[in-house]
Structure formats: C-alpha cells, structure tokens
Structure 1
Amino acid sequence: MRKSTTPQPTGPESISSARVSKLARRPHRKSRNGCFNCKRRKVKCDEVKPACANCVRFGIPCDFAPQPPSSDDSAPHTSPPEILSVLAEPATTPRRGPGRPRKDWAALTRPPPPPPPASDRTTTSPSSTSATPVSSSTISNSQICSLNIADAELLFHFMANTSRTLHDADDPVDDIASFWARNVPQIGLSYHFVLHMMYALAGYHLVYQEPKGTERHSQSLALAAHHAELGIYEMNRTLTNLNEANCGALYVAAVLVCYCTFAAGPTGPDDLLVCVIGEGISQRWLPVIHGVRLIRQSIEPATLFTGLMAPLGGGGTNSEMEDTKPDFMVTGFSYIDWVGPLEKLRLWIASHENPDTALYLRVHKSLCDVYEANFGNAEGLVQVPTMNKFVFGWLYRMQDLFVGCLQRKAPQALLLMAYYVPLFRTMKRSWFMEGWATHLLETIREWNMMNKLDLDRSAVAPDDFVNWPNNAVSKFLSSSYTFE
C-alpha cells in the first residue's frame, strides 16, 4: 500500500516561507532603555514596567517604578499593591541560590544620610581618654564627631614649635628632632596619656609666649592644667601594669611630666623643685624622677629603646662620635670659673661633721661632674663621662635621703641646691625653667638666714656662699647668649 505524501511547496512559495522563518529567528537588537540596577549589574533587563523581573527577584527598588511620595507633598498618594510589594524591603533575608555571593544591591540604591544640623557642627567634642579609638563604621548619624579646635591647635603647636625646644639639634631631620616632632605624637595615638601630656606642655609653651593678663594666656593656662591632670591620672593607672608593650609610652610620658612640672612654675614660696620645705608640708617628688627611674630599672634598654623609641637609645642613624670638648665651647654659652667656688663649698661641708656629711660629699662630687662636662676642669679638659652634660641628670641621680635633708632645711643640702641653679642657664632651650633660678636662690637665701648656722669652724658665712650662684646667674642674664 502506497503511503500518502504531503506535497512540498516549490517555486516562489518555498522561498517566501523560508524568508519568514529566518526573520522569526533573528536575535533581538540591543536596547539602552533598561533600568539602572540592571545596567549597574551588567545583566539583560526585560524592561517590563512598573518593575523589571530582575529587580523583583532581588527585592530592590526598580527605577521604572514611581518614587514613593515625599513627606512634603500636600496631598497623599496611594501606590498600587503590586508596586508596594516591590518597593517594600522584605521582612526576612531572601534565600540565596547557588553561585557566588552577591552584593547588597539594595544598599547601593539608598540615598546618603543627610548632613548633621548646623548646631551640631559648631559644637566641640571633649577630649577622649579612651585607649582604643572608635571605628567610624560604628558611629551613627547622631554621634558624628565634630572638631576640637583647641586640642588641634595644641597638637600643631607641639609638633611645629614645642618639640624643637626639647632637644639641642639644629637640623630638623636629625633623629632626636624627628623623635619629638613625629614619633611622640604617633605614640600618643595609641596611648592617650601621652597625647594629654603633649597638649599640656604645648599649652604651657603658649602661656610662656603670651603676655600675662590676656585672655589667651588664661585660656592656655587652663587647658594646660586640665590636660596635665588627665595625663598624669591615666599614666599612673597604666604604670601599675608596666610591660614591654607600654614601657616606651610611659617613659615618654614621665619625661613630659617633668617638663610640665618645670613649666608650671613654683607652687609656693617654699617650693624647691624636688620637694617643699617647711613644717607640716608633705614631700613633693617630681614624678619623672621615680617614673623614669622605675622604668629604666624594670625594662632592658634593648626592649625600651626600640621602634619609635630608638632615637632615645643613642643608636640613631645620625648619631656621631661624642664630643669630648666642654659643652660651653660647642654650644656657646658664657664660661663660669666654677672650680674654686665648688672646692670651697666642699671644704666647708667636710668641716661640719654630722651623720649626713658623707651623703653631702657624694652629692657634691656628682654636681662637680656636671660642671666639668659643661665647662671643663681646671686644665680645661673633660675627664668625666659625657652623659654629665645632661643637666637634669643630677636630679635623676638624686637620692631620697638628700631630698629629706632639703625638706629639713639642712644648710649643706640647701647650699648644694643653690650651686646647682646656675646650670639651668646652660641649656640652649630652657623656656620651661623661666623664673626657677630667681625663686630657688631667694628661697635658699631666706632659709639660710633663718637657720643661724654655727660658724665657729668656718671663716665664711653661708650667705657668702649663696652670693656665688647669684653672681653666676646674673652673668648669664647679662650675656648675649639667648635662650628659646
């Protein structure tokens, strides 16, 4: 049985049918009318309105959909239910399909938060005493921090001006210059008590530069005292947990406390810098003496003077051979003939035997070493360690027993302190010692007069001994050598 066959078109009909089939399979031309989200994700948009399929799938607003009504519109508008279902954020996170994690595209379409009101931008925030800075990602719009201009000025003044007065280097790129101007502020970012002490010293420096009685002078003094109090409090709390991580910051803070104590000036007529003399008044040790000494004794130098602290260890890249010439020949301050007067003082101390005579003679020898390093001996040579050029080293090595003698108004101790005073003027940049020389010499002279010393075995009255430090200080004040 023959199968029936369907006749196939031939001729012009077959050509027309093939042409229609080819046109139906022609790909869709590219369109640039897709929604913004699809363009951002670089995917094909079906351009269906009011919301394309891709935006509906991901639960994000489609820019084809009309925007929700503004709160400023006078007449309320209602949106169709299908549009509300697209614009509303899902109550629960949609289930992720297989494949790579996707971005939070909805977050990218949200408008930026409005700026804070003008009243919030003009207020200043208090100084933070936290040891850990707060991440900006956790701060809400209502907690946007504003600038504290007063603290910013103190930081700038410390880095640009005050730091230059804490060393003798004239080269701004010298290791020790960079340490005070850059390393110390960097340490302060991690340990805020260092920042507070920086602010305090910068404030006292501004007090020194501003005329007394001006508003700026009073404001700088109040800021300096405020930051000094906060810094010392935080430093003392941290000092109870001294370790290899925080030893450098504590060491720097202790030195800054020393400078701030000097810069704040005498606390009263009986203030002898390291203690307060007089009946019923408690001893006032400089915190730096115990603080620095404790840290140096507890931490190995190889651990203490590493990283940002390396320049203080004496092994910087710019370190040179120590100059063994007397410091006055290098720095340029006036020479003082100290050998004879200090020898007379030694003989007078030795001639008054008492249980503390040996202590006084040791302190006298330590004081002579500082004078020799700065002025040379009788032959003009320096035969003592060059570390004695550091004038404050005498205070660092001072023993508690000697401080007790000062508080008891022992004549020998008072005279030794008076003979230390002229060394203040050998420091090239000693603004923080302003007023101390006159105050100490006047206080010691007054107490010497009240002591009525026994002069049976001495041909020279104690007041005559005090005359020499006074004359030495006056010589410095009348010289052309300037101090910053």
Structure 2
Amino acid sequence: MAETSLVKAPELDSPPTRPYHAKRPHKKSRSGCQNCKARKVKCDESRPVCRSCKLRKAECVYVLPQKPHHSPVTASASWHSSSSSSSSSSSFESRPLTHLIKSATSSTNLASISSASSFLFSSPILPLDERVSDQTVTIPAELLWCPIGIDKADMKALWFYSTQTCGSFSTVADDGHKYIMRSLLVRYGSESPFLLDSIFALASLHMQRLNQRFDPKRALAYRVKSLAGYRKAIEEANPGDFPALLANSLLLTALSSENFREPDGAHLYILDWLVVWKGITLVIDLVSKPTVVESGLKSLFYRPPTDVVKSATFIPRQLLLLVSSITPSDPDYSYSEAYIETLKYLGSLYMDLVQGPSSMMSLRIITIFTFLPTKFIDVARMSRPRALIILAYFATFFKLVQREVWWLEGVGDRTIRDICGHLDLEWQDFLQVPCAALDAQGRKQLSKIILEDTELDSPQNYFLEYEAHVDQTQDLLRDYCSH
C-alpha cells in the first residue's frame, strides 16, 4: 500500500572508494546520531537516517529532538481564517475548538473531537495474533532518559509503548511510522506533558486489552490528565505545543474508543466519537498545514483517496431508497445533500469489499469518518433516524477490521445495538443488514451479510453482480438529483 512517508535522506549509490589522505580538521558534531558517536565518526545529521547508518543499514537513533520550525502564522490568525471560511453558522467550524471538546465530553472522561481535510491521518493497528512478541528488542533511545517525576508505573507504560503499542498504530508499521510513533511522539511528549500522559494512557489501555496487569486507577488518571492538559494547550495555543497537539488529536481517537467497551458507556456514543474525529481537522487548521509538514508528522495524516463518482454506484439500493423517499415536507429535506455525499463514502467501502479485502480497505475503513461532511455530523448529533441508520452500516465495516485494530474491538457491535434499540419499528426494515451482522461468525460470513449475498464464496465474485446494477443505481441518483 502506498503511503506518504517521512522525508528521507538522499538515495545513495554504493559506497565510494576512499583513498588515503591525511585527517582534516573539522567542526565537532554535538547532535549526531548515537551510532556515529559510538563509532567516533562524523555524522552528517540527515534525518530520519544519516548517511553513515544508511550505508551500514543500521538503525539511526538521535537522542536530542530536532526542533521544528513553526509556521509564522499565529494561532489566532490561523483559527480566524478557518472560522471565517465556514459557510454555516451552525457548523462545527464556526465554534471554538475548546467548546467542541467540552460539548462532546459532557458524559465522558475523554475528549471527543473529528473529520475531513485534504490530507489526514492513517491510524490502523496491529493484528491481535501479532500484538506481543517475546523476542528480544533493541532498547529505544527514548528509554535512556528519565524525566523529572516519572515513577515505576510510568516507566512500565513507556516501555510497553516503545516496544509494542507504537508499532500497533498503523497497518503498515513501516520504519517511517515506527520512527515517528516511537521517537518523535515521545520527544514531543517530553516538551508537552499532556502528550506524554496520552502515550502512557494508550499504552496502559493496550495492556488492559491484552489482559496484562496495570493499575486501572492509574490508567484512568493518565486519561484525565491528558485531556485536561490538552484542553489547556488548545486554549493557550502556544506554537511550541503544536506538534504535540497534532499527535494528541490522533491518539484521542483510540483512547476515546474505550467508551464503547465500558458497560455503562454513554448511549449512542458513536455521535460523540464523530466529534473526536472532527477534532483532527480542527487541530490541523489551528496549527496550520505547513506546521504538519515541518513537525515531521505528515505521514501519520495520510488516508487513501476516494473516487466518489465511481463509489456512488456501489451504494446499497435500500439506502438510496431511504434518502430518495425524502419529500419537501420532510424535516430531513434540507439535509438530503449531506446524506447523499455521506453515502458516496460508504459506497467506497462497498467497492473495496467487492474487489476483495485488502490493507487499503482496512485503512479506508479506519479513516472513513475523516471524510464525512460537517453537515452530516451535525445532523447525526441531532439523532435523526436516517443519519443513525447510515452510521449503523458504517459500524458493520468496523466489525470487519476489529481483529486487526485492537482499539476498534466492540465499536461496531456497541454502535449497532445502540442504534437498533433507539429507533422505532418503522425504521427496522432498513436495519436488517446491521442487525444480522451482530451474529456474524468470521469475516467471510460478515462480508456476505454486508453484501447481502449468502451464496457468496468470495467478495471478488460479487463484482460482476454489482456491475449489472450500476446503470440502475446511476438512474436512481440521477432521478434524485433532478428533484
């Protein structure tokens, strides 16, 4: 799967031959990588991999963080320009970011903020059968320092994060992502304590999901401290915290997912979770996109592009009927366009499944809420029945990837149960597929249920049947848009 990677050092050919020459005086490097220092050779300090380590194919580790060059655009100006571009006074973009956090967390302990930008985050996760390795690992440089006030429990969480959790936040988990998650995030956390608390919280949550011992009170304390510090950092908008704010907006999507698994979690928590995803875009607008690049975190914000024209032909017929039945006198009439746009993104998931499950499909499922129109999120948070039904269909896809992504476990089931129990009987016919998905055993059966084909041997075989319905689906869309 192609994914935007960190800026790499220039490609090098085979090592040049080095003729003998007298040693020349040079300025001593004080910020070179650990390998070069240990070998007592000059480091060219290229990031993330210096020339010497690249030639030797060795892991390149820097102890001191590379200070980011922040955008000269002030936080207030950046936020003002974002706010002024909003087309609706009731949209999320027209409200202060801190207000969004507080309104979305009135019934929970964690922040809830969310969705769409030209480039956004990619945060899939490690399969359950690969989550823990007993193999000996190299001690990360981040574990060689001891911040003031850190205790044994903190170190345990930091160790688990640096050796396990950091590699479970991406389906790709390549060297670039590992460098960012294990090195950059921890270093930014050393300068912005709220991010370090989020790292501790994520690691302790991961340990609990694996039934490993960790004090639940300490784990909750991390989450509460993280949220409090995050809110304060947003209010102060200190440019020195911008990289940490960016990283924290991603970690919150996983941290807040624990509410789906708690027995006394908020009813219809999926509506608050939408706002968590919305916060990613709001933070990007706050710090400015150039800062995303300069911080070295850009590749974390990658998401697969979506062809909404092609994906529209894969929208399930019953959902097209759900929207096309809206009349001018219906309270949902003014939201029709938002429904149609959202269904196109749902159609992209059907298109991927029809062509066969893949890592790209998993990544698209995980990041799908970053695409949803702001107006749809507004409508969904009003608990409009049609919006809830559409969310129930998204939830069936979350079930498909929960074995790959540990923090998505239970999200799909909890959401479907909440929605099916919330809506009246008049809407139950539209919920047959999500309700059937609750009892699915395995991904193959779940795929059949989602595609409504119990005789299906492989999603790939279903492609031809969908092709037969393409023209009919396009006619439905054309008729609806002509109203």
Query: Structure 2 length normalisation: TM-score?
Result: 0.52
Partner of residue 369, structure 1: 345
Partner of residue 190, structure 1: 191
Asked if structure 1 preserves the Cα contact closer than 8 Å seen for 2:315 and 2:346, the reply is no
- Residue 340 (structure 1) shift: 6.8
Match of 1:155 among 153, 158, 163: 158
Match of 1:429 among 375, 399, 404: 404
- Residue 259 (structure 1) shift: 0.9
Once residues 169 and 365 of structure 2 are traced to their aligned partners in structure 1, the CA distance between those partners, rounded to angstroms, is 13
Larger radius of gyration: 1
Alignment of 1:205-216 (within 5 A): 205-210=206-211, 216=213
Asked if structure 1 preserves the Cα contact closer than 8 Å seen for 2:194 and 2:229, the reply is yes
- Residue 373 (structure 1) shift: 5.2
Once residues 312 and 380 of structure 2 are traced to their aligned partners in structure 1, the CA distance between those partners, rounded to angstroms, is 23
Query: Structure 1 length normalisation: TM-score?
Result: 0.52
Query: Do the aligned partners of residues 381 and 437 (structure 1) sit closer, same or farther apart at CA in structure 2, a change above 3 Å counting?
Result: closer
Unaligned runs of 5+ in 1: 1-143, 276-283, 326-336, 454-461
Query: Do the aligned partners of residues 243 and 148 (structure 1) sit closer, same or farther apart at CA in structure 2, a change above 3 Å counting?
Result: closer
Query: Do the aligned partners of residues 405 and 170 (structure 1) sit closer, same or farther apart at CA in structure 2, a change above 3 Å counting?
Result: closer
- Residue 184 (structure 1) shift: 1.0
Query: Do the aligned partners of residues 474 and 375 (structure 1) sit closer, same or farther apart at CA in structure 2, a change above 3 Å counting?
Result: farther
Partner of residue 476, structure 2: none
Equivalenced residue count is 291
- SS of residue in 1 equivalent to 2:365: coil
Opposite residue 292 of structure 1, the aligned amino acid is I
Match of 2:418 among 429, 443, 465: 443
Partner of residue 199, structure 1: 200
Q: Indicate whether 1:271 and 2:272 are aligned.
A: no
Query: Do the aligned partners of residues 292 and 340 (structure 1) sit closer, same or farther apart at CA in structure 2, a change above 3 Å counting?
Result: closer
Partner of residue 258, structure 1: 253
Query: Do the aligned partners of residues 190 and 436 (structure 1) sit closer, same or farther apart at CA in structure 2, a change above 3 Å counting?
Result: same
Partner of residue 308, structure 1: 296
Query: Do the aligned partners of residues 300 and 340 (structure 1) sit closer, same or farther apart at CA in structure 2, a change above 3 Å counting?
Result: closer
Unaligned runs of 5+ in 2: 1-146, 447-483
Q: Indicate whether 1:396 and 2:370 are aligned.
A: yes
Partner of residue 464, structure 1: 429
Opposite residue 272 of structure 1, the aligned amino acid is L
Which deviations, in whole Å up to 9, do the C-alpha atoms of 1:181-221 show, x marking residues without a partner? Answer: 2221111111111100011111111111117xxxx36x2x3
Q: C-alpha root-mean-square deviation of aligned residues, in Å?
A: 3.8
Higher relative contact order (CA 8 A, sep 6+): 2
Asked if structure 2 preserves the Cα contact closer than 8 Å seen for 1:176 and 1:311, the reply is yes
The structure in which a higher percent of residues are helix is 2
- Residue 409 (structure 1) shift: 3.5
Q: Indicate whether 1:417 and 2:384 are aligned.
A: no
- Residue 249 (structure 1) shift: 0.9
Asked if structure 1 preserves the Cα contact closer than 8 Å seen for 2:167 and 2:178, the reply is yes
- SS of residue in 1 equivalent to 2:256: helix
Asked if structure 1 preserves the Cα contact closer than 8 Å seen for 2:342 and 2:373, the reply is no
Query: Do the aligned partners of residues 204 and 402 (structure 1) sit closer, same or farther apart at CA in structure 2, a change above 3 Å counting?
Result: same
Once residues 243 and 269 of structure 1 are traced to their aligned partners in structure 2, the CA distance between those partners, rounded to angstroms, is 33
Alignment of 1:84-99 (within 5 A): none
Once residues 324 and 298 of structure 1 are traced to their aligned partners in structure 2, the CA distance between those partners, rounded to angstroms, is 25
Asked if structure 2 preserves the Cα contact closer than 8 Å seen for 1:244 and 1:304, the reply is no
Q: Indicate whether 1:237 and 2:238 are aligned.
A: no
- Residue 310 (structure 1) shift: 4.1
Once residues 379 and 388 of structure 2 are traced to their aligned partners in structure 1, the CA distance between those partners, rounded to angstroms, is 8
- Residue 395 (structure 1) shift: 2.6
Q: Indicate whether 1:342 and 2:316 are aligned.
A: yes
Query: Do the aligned partners of residues 236 and 257 (structure 1) sit closer, same or farther apart at CA in structure 2, a change above 3 Å counting?
Result: same
Once residues 476 and 371 of structure 1 are traced to their aligned partners in structure 2, the CA distance between those partners, rounded to angstroms, is 23
Once residues 263 and 415 of structure 1 are traced to their aligned partners in structure 2, the CA distance between those partners, rounded to angstroms, is 23
- SS of residue in 1 equivalent to 2:268: coil
- Residue 415 (structure 1) shift: 0.5
Once residues 239 and 323 of structure 1 are traced to their aligned partners in structure 2, the CA distance between those partners, rounded to angstroms, is 29
Once residues 379 and 397 of structure 2 are traced to their aligned partners in structure 1, the CA distance between those partners, rounded to angstroms, is 21
Once residues 238 and 400 of structure 2 are traced to their aligned partners in structure 1, the CA distance between those partners, rounded to angstroms, is 36
- Residue 245 (structure 1) shift: 3.2
Partner of residue 170, structure 2: 167
- Residue 285 (structure 1) shift: 6.0
